[in-house]
Amino acid sequence: MSKHTISFTLNGDSVTQEVDSRLLLVHLLRDDLQKTGTHIGCDTSNCGACTVLLDSRSVKSCTVFAAQANGKAVETIEGMEQDALHPLQEGFHEEHGLQCGFCTPGMIMRAKELLKKNPNPTEEEIRWGISGNLCRCTGYVNIIKAIQYAANKLNEQQKEAA
Amino acid sequence: MIPPSFDYATPQSLSEAIALLHQHGSEAKVLAGGHSLIPAMRLRFAEPSHLIDISGIAGLSYIRESGGFLRIGAMTREVELEDSELIQSNYPILLDTAKMIADPQVRNLATLGGNLAHGDPANDHPATMLALRAQVEITGQGGKRTVPIDDFFPDFFTTVLEHGEILTEIQIPIPPSNSGGTYLKIERKVGDYAVAAVAAQVSLGADGTFQQVGLGLTNVGPVPIRAVRSEDSLRGQRPDEALYAQAGQLASEDADPGDDLRGSADYKRSLIRELIKRALRRAVDHAQGRS
Amino acid sequence: MIQCKTSKEIGGMGHSLKRKEDARFIRGQGKYTDDVNLPGMLYMAIVRSPYAYAKIKSINSEAALELPGVLAVITGKDLEQYNLHWMPTLMSDTQMVLPTDTVMYQSQEVAAVIATDRYTAADGVEAVTVEYEQMKPVIDPHKALDEDAPLLRPDKEGKTDNHIWHWEAGNRKSTAEIFENADVVVSQKMYLPRIHVCSIETCGCVASFDKAEGKLTVWMTTQAPHAVRTVLALVAGHVGLSEEKIRIISPDIGGGFGGKVPVYPGYVIAIAASVLIGKPVKWIEDRSENLQADSFARDYHMDVEMAATKEGKMQGLRIKTLADYGYTDAAANPSKYPAGLFSICTGSYNFQDAFTEMDAVYTNKPPGGVAYRCSFRVTEAVHAVERITDVLAQELKMDPVELRMKNFIQPEQFPYNSPLGWEYDSGNYPAALELALERIGYDDLRKEQVEKRARGELMGIGVCSFTEIVGAGPSKDFDILGIKMFDSCEIRIHPTGKAIARFGTKSQGQGHETTYAQIIAEQLGIPALHIQVEEGDTDTAPYGLGTYASRSTPTAGAAAAKASYKILDKARKIAAHLLEVDEEDLEWEPGKFWVKGSPEKSKTIQDIAFAAYTNHPQGMEAGLEATHYYDPPNLTFPFGSYICVVDIDKGTGQVKVRRFMAIDDCGNIINPMIVEGQIHGGLAQGIAPALYEEMIYDDDGNILNGTFMDYLVPTAVEIPHLETGHTITPSPHHPLGAKGVAESPTVGAPPAIANAVVDALSHLGVKHVDIPITPFKVWQILQEKGLAT
């Protein structure tokens, strides 16, 4: 087993940590860095509850070794609220896009990348876009509405900024 | 859920990576996208002693045409294939394939090279590469060698990659004009492996007949299968429903599926019969300029 | 549009108040069991059996104990010293915590490794070697009672076979007479396979025994914390655990759906480990463990028959069921109802008579079953009656809608006494079905179907008009391990007019922090935003039986109303005192009292709250609080009509749900947005078993699909767009006129889908298809009928 000193940013803050080579990114975040907003829902990389952004790309943190995050930017749900709630957080609240809340951080992080790449997704595109995230509570209906809400708000914010 | 211990290295060059593979022997494995290897390690089905992470090596990720080939670096992520305008417009078969692999998060990390090097007949790109008549460039201690895709998968979960060799580039002959292709996959749910899938790449001559035909079959045999007899039955012929049906029948006979949770062998043969027809219709539509 | 009696500011019943609990979840600040971290905490991982039925020859922990960081390996023999190796189940059967000599199902717990961190614990599990002697397991329940079947429970005194119990309801003889004399009798075998709740959060606990205090605190994914506390006190009293020194905390739970009601061996081992070692022990199961070892749902083999007149009047219903329980009856059912509420199987129809019987058997599979979003076996009952109704419709060449309308219990018949002994409180089945028909455009769909059929296309329309039965339950009939199934609410109003309310239930996503506040807001006029709702900590919450079987609104919701009335009684006295009038001279609207005829002379509830601590009448106790334990007089009977449209791809066998219309009636609605969300989720959990989910075992008892790779939980691509609507038929006996709702869709959706697929294929002579209706299954049918490619 090798140990590695890794440096990366976590929600914009620099972090340096010594990790075992086999430590999974999700465990680094949850157990060593106390960022428990990222959740574990399966053991075969199917459920997406562990989704975070790695250099702006949504990835399943249970299928990435912490060592692979060296030199990269990691974003988790804890970094979404800046001065105000992110439109996605607002959208999930306004549209009742969550019930038990367990899949929600993964959904929001995935949706963040989805909307960055496709600011005006159709319902179909959203469904395919979150096909790597399982939810048992909502039947996905209001999650889609939440993401549409956020898309509208982000587009408005873009227009205002322009 | 928890992987076993291993040593981890991040070489900065191909030669360093190859040297490490030789140094640590057959229990050292290449880590590319990691989305076949890491899940296997978490279930302790794979226990490599060393992981050689090649994602830090520059120059392995690109999509460009040159010298008559579309050249794709082996570390190109599936999402990069999806996002490439060149692929979207000129290689719909590749777009259709990439889109059907796993899910969006996996596609952000999974690589084209990894999809081929894993040797799994259930993976999606092998059939597509057969249809495209691709070849792969392999780099080892002795230098580079090129292998036609038809020779790349000699056996179940086996490729011709020797230990110490790394797949570095995929080369696809640039299709002539009036070409089209598609990948049709039947899956139990999004993210699953194919129950059966068909890759079809065709080009039509000036007289409207089939000039080139490539048909690959996914997950209906111990290796990815080229539907040779189907291809032969179409070459030189005018596109025609009866021909598609015959091609489907031939392909279903050449497939060698097993019974499993996804269905019986007969069901999968039946899917091949049907998918060949649908894939040919779509590929011909593209080739005739109707998307 | 729902009429609200209170303003939006107060947010009483009927308002779609945004949820108060969202604030922490959208920030990733929910506190789930695996988020609990205590100083010195150890981790537990479990060694599991690869075989379905085997003798344990030896367990060798040497190599494991040599690993740095592994502190202990606990086996059945260790627990036997404390008589903790077996525990009671909720149905008064017994279940192994850890085996001493025989394993009874694949993935059964065999030993537990305690280590300093989860990675080392996992390595420890790999290092434990167990020698087994395999035996031939009993997997097919139909063979469980064969002469030569091994006796699976020799530990049970006097047991000579694998039969657990026989249960019946109704009149066998008079029902038989009806069948003998009927014009038409239809029959159908139906199998509802094992499925799994698969909440995204798996089960687990953090057990922390404080040696100095002698106090055990357990954070646990449990839907019923008080029941767990009492059971622990009874089971482990002899090792020094005393109920006042046991604290069970259900923190945030990532989905329950019934799967977090049982007391799993893992919890008990972790608790034992913590008590023995004196340090906190965390156990969180992997998904594979959750799927392979935790309690299943369904697994009923049913023989269903209906007798009717040739004009289509339903006369009799008969159902005989073989129930596969796994190796022990660990079902979560009220004790007098081993088959749960299955006797609701006469459904929405006015049968003359009915009879149902059931035999439960042991097999070498995980024990169960849980009430998976079905209120105790109602999914099975409704599937049976709704499918056989369509079988009858097909036999009589009658439209399934017409057949239902002809046989519905009519509104004027309520309260309705069913032939199997239930008093349905209220219902208007024709109205719900009419609304569904209108919204989906039924007549046009039938026209379209005729056209498509002529072209050889396969399109189906499925109808399901179900009656559910929720809110267990009245004390005269309902108990779990003897504990009656009341539920409770305790409200305390603070001097500044805000409030805290605690309940004996436990939300796992149903929105109680919002809906309970709305109930109290409705009664007292305190804004819902000012009412703090707490559940799940047995040290502070009033005793209750927890949340499952859609019982919270019917029981604890009613308790909230009743506790509020008590507060209102005292508030009235204080108001009278403040306004210097008699109580009879006061009028009330949510939020204030005023003097009859002089509305300017008023006191708000906030004024009254303050006065309760500063200016209450002489001789009256200070404070403004009340507790109520509500014993429901009856269950509540929500209902609905669902219609779905499917198109079948002949070339692949794939079934595409084109539309799904769900009309639900749960009486008075507390929060329409939350109710609708519950319907969406329940529909998804009903469509999933209809088309995708089943646990598959081979003849040796190996689970073939024990991970999410092959146990198919649908994504947003598989779940179609869902359409919902409602009618409102209040419950006459519930203080709020409300019924439970969240399980209706899981109950109603599978038969709607099955009926639609059969409808698509009925012209080919297909009468029935068992769920899950996979593309492979459809293809096999088309093959048989000569239609496959």
B262 and C776 within 8 Å at the Cβ level: the answer is: yes
Distant-in-sequence, close-in-space partners of C132: CB < 8 Å, separation ≥ 6 = C49, C50, C51, C54, C55, C56, C57, C103
Name B63's bridge partners.
Answer: B72
Of the candidates A1, A4, A113, the beta carbon closest to that of B5 is on: A1
The pairing of strands C458-467 and C479-480 is unpaired
pLDDT tens digits, C293-321: 999 999 999 999 999 999 999 999 999 99
Give, as one character, the DSSP assignment of residue A80: S
Among C334, C218, C338, CA closest to C270:
C218
Q: Tell whether B255 and B281 lie within a shared domain.
A: yes
pLDDT score at C549: 85
Torsion sign (Cα): B134, B140, B144, B146: negative
Question: Closest chain C residue to B39 measured between Cα atoms?
Answer: C709
HEC secondary structure over C309-342: CCCCCEEEEEEEEEEECCCCECCCCCCCCCCCCH
Mean pLDDT value across residues A85-105: 98
Of the candidates B3, B6, B105, the beta carbon closest to that of A51 is on: B105
Mean pLDDT value across residues C19-31: 98
pLDDT score at B106: 98
A43 and B106 within 8 Å at the Cβ level: the answer is: no
Structural domain that includes position B213:
182-286
The pairing of strands B210-218 and B166-173 is unpaired
pLDDT tens digits, C655-680: 999 999 999 999 999 999 999 999 99
Q: Tell whether C442 and C369 lie within a shared domain.
A: yes
pLDDT score at B291: 58
Residue B226: which H helix or E strand, with range?
strand B225-226
The pairing of strands C215-220 and C246-249 is parallel
Q: Tell whether C497 and C456 lie within a shared domain.
A: no
Q: Tell whether C492 and C445 lie within a shared domain.
A: no
Residue A19: which H helix or E strand, with range?
strand A13-20
Tell me the C-alpha distance between B247 and B254, whole Å.
Answer: 11
Of the candidates A22, A44, A51, the beta carbon closest to that of B39 is on: A44
Q: Tell whether B116 and B139 lie within a shared domain.
A: yes
**Which residues of C are catalytic, by number?**
223, 373-374, 743
How would you list the strands of the sheet with C592-595, edge to edge?
C586-589, C592-595, C598-604
Question: Closest chain A residue to C29 measured between Cα atoms?
Answer: A37
> Is C133 part of a structural domain of the chain?
yes
Q: Is the pLDDT of residue C98 over 80?
A: yes
Q: Tell whether B169 and B70 lie within a shared domain.
A: yes
Q: Tell whether A108 and A129 lie within a shared domain.
A: yes
pLDDT score at C789: 59
Q: Tell whether C74 and C212 lie within a shared domain.
A: yes
- List the single best residue of B42, B267, B272, B278 to mutate versus C (max C Cβ within 10 A): B267
What ipTM score was computed for the predicted complex, to two decimals?
0.98
Question: Is the separation of the CB atoms in C335 and C369 below 8 Å?
Answer: no
A46 has a chain B CB within 8 A of its CB: yes
Provide the number of structural domains found in chain C: 3
Tell me the C-alpha distance between C130 and C75, whole Å.
Answer: 11
> Is C776 part of a structural domain of the chain?
yes
C200 and A43 within 8 Å at the Cβ level: the answer is: no
Q: What is the mean pLDDT of chain C?
A: 96
Of the candidates A24, A44, A48, the beta carbon closest to that of B105 is on: A48
Q: In the Cβ-directed half-sphere of C544, how many Cα atoms lie within 13 Å?
A: 41
Q: Tell whether C331 and C451 lie within a shared domain.
A: yes
pLDDT tens digits, C350-373: 999 999 999 999 999 999 888 898
Encoded tokens for C432: 């719900």
Mean pLDDT value across residues C549-564: 93
Question: Closest chain C residue to B186 measured between Cα atoms?
Answer: C652
pTM of the model: 0.97
B12 has a chain A CB within 8 A of its CB: no
B39 has a chain A CB within 8 A of its CB: yes
Mean pLDDT value across residues C148-177: 96
Between positions 20 and 79 of A, the ones with CB within 8 A of C are 20, 22-23, 27, 30-31, 34-44, 46-47, 49, 76-78
- Tell me the chain A residues in contact with residue C197 when contact means C-beta distances shorter than 8 Å: 136
A142 has a chain C CB within 8 A of its CB: yes
Provide the number of structural domains found in chain A: 2
pLDDT tens digits, C580-596: 999 999 999 999 999 99
B2 and C709 within 8 Å at the Cβ level: the answer is: no
Residue B128: which H helix or E strand, with range?
helix B125-132
Letter string b/e over residues C554-575, b meaning 16 or more CB atoms within 10 A of that residue's CB: bbbbbbbbbbbeebbebbbbbb
- Tell me the chain C residues in contact with residue B267 when contact means C-beta distances shorter than 8 Å: 653, 776, 779-780
- Tell me the chain A residues in contact with residue B55 when contact means C-beta distances shorter than 8 Å: 68
CATH number for B27:
3.30.43.10
What's the gap in Å between the CA of C273 and the closest CA on chain B?
22
Q: What is the mean pLDDT of chain B?
A: 97
A-B contacts (CB, under 8 Å): 87
Give, as one character, the DSSP assignment of residue C26: T
DSSP string, C246-293: EEEE--B-S--TTTTSS--HHHHHHHHHHHHH-S-EEEE--HHHHHHH
pLDDT score at C225: 97
pLDDT score at B38: 97
B43 has a chain A CB within 8 A of its CB: yes
Of the candidates B189, B264, B267, the beta carbon closest to that of C692 is on: B189
Q: Tell whether A68 and A107 lie within a shared domain.
A: no
CATH number for C102:
3.90.1170.50
Tell me the C-alpha distance between A67 and A20, whole Å.
Answer: 8
B189 and C776 within 8 Å at the Cβ level: the answer is: no
Mean pLDDT value across residues C200-205: 98
Domain boundary residue, one of C612, C630, C648:
C630
C776 and B264 within 8 Å at the Cβ level: the answer is: yes
A-C contacts (CB, under 8 Å): 181
> Is B253 part of a structural domain of the chain?
yes
Q: Tell whether B268 and B205 lie within a shared domain.
A: yes
Domain boundary residue, one of A79, A98, A122:
A79
A2 has a chain B CB within 8 A of its CB: yes
pLDDT score at C1: 65
Q: Tell whether C220 and C132 lie within a shared domain.
A: yes
Q: Tell whether C314 and C328 lie within a shared domain.
A: yes
> Is B58 part of a structural domain of the chain?
no
Q: Is the pLDDT of residue B125 over 70?
A: yes
> Is C161 part of a structural domain of the chain?
no
Q: What percent of chain C has pLDDT over 70?
A: 100
A48 and B2 within 8 Å at the Cβ level: the answer is: no
Encoded tokens for C459: 């399109």
Name B146's bridge partners.
Answer: B137
> Is B32 part of a structural domain of the chain?
yes
Q: Tell whether B78 and B154 lie within a shared domain.
A: yes
pLDDT score at B290: 75
Tell me the C-alpha distance between C133 and C150, whole Å.
Answer: 15
Amino acid at C243: E
Q: What percent of chain C has pLDDT over 90?
A: 95
- Tell me the chain A residues in contact with residue B106 when contact means C-beta distances shorter than 8 Å: 45, 60, 63, 132
Tell me the C-alpha distance between C742 and C661, whole Å.
Answer: 16
Provide the number of structural domains found in chain B: 3
B195 has a chain C CB within 8 A of its CB: yes
pLDDT score at C234: 87
Q: Is the pLDDT of residue C419 over 70?
A: yes
- Tell me the chain A residues in contact with residue C716 when contact means C-beta distances shorter than 8 Å: 126-128, 130-131, 133, 135, 140, 143-144
Of the candidates C704, C709, C789, the beta carbon closest to that of B274 is on: C789
Q: Tell whether A41 and A105 lie within a shared domain.
A: no
pLDDT score at C166: 97
Q: Where is pLDDT greater, at C372 or C41?
A: C41
Structural domain that includes position A33:
3-79
Q: Is the pLDDT of residue A60 over 90?
A: yes
What's the gap in Å between the CA of A1 and the closest CA on chain C?
12
Confidence of residue A49 (pLDDT cuts 50, 70, 90): very high
Residue with tokens 């860095």: A33
Q: Tell whether A7 and A75 lie within a shared domain.
A: yes
What Cα–Cα distance (Å) separates residue C718 from each residue in B277, C166, C714?
25, 39, 5
Q: Tell whether B187 and B240 lie within a shared domain.
A: yes
Question: Is the separation of the CB atoms in C473 and C328 below 8 Å?
Answer: no
Q: Tell whether A98 and A69 lie within a shared domain.
A: no
Q: Tell whether C567 and C643 lie within a shared domain.
A: no
Confidence of residue B246 (pLDDT cuts 50, 70, 90): very high
Find the chain C residues whose C-beta atoms sit closer than 8 A to any C-beta of B: 118-119, 122-123, 126, 286, 288, 651-654, 692, 696, 704-705, 709-710, 712, 714-715, 717-718, 774-776, 779-780, 783, 788-789
B59 has a chain C CB within 8 A of its CB: no
> Is B1 part of a structural domain of the chain?
no
A132 and B106 within 8 Å at the Cβ level: the answer is: yes
Structural domain that includes position C598:
22-30+487-630
> Is C197 part of a structural domain of the chain?
no
Q: Which chains touch B (3 or more CB pairs under 8 A)?
A: A, C
What Cα–Cα distance (Å) separates residue A60 from each residue in B61, C322, C559?
21, 42, 44
What's the gap in Å between the CA of C697 and the closest CA on chain A?
20
Tell me the C-alpha distance between C301 and C321, whole Å.
Answer: 6
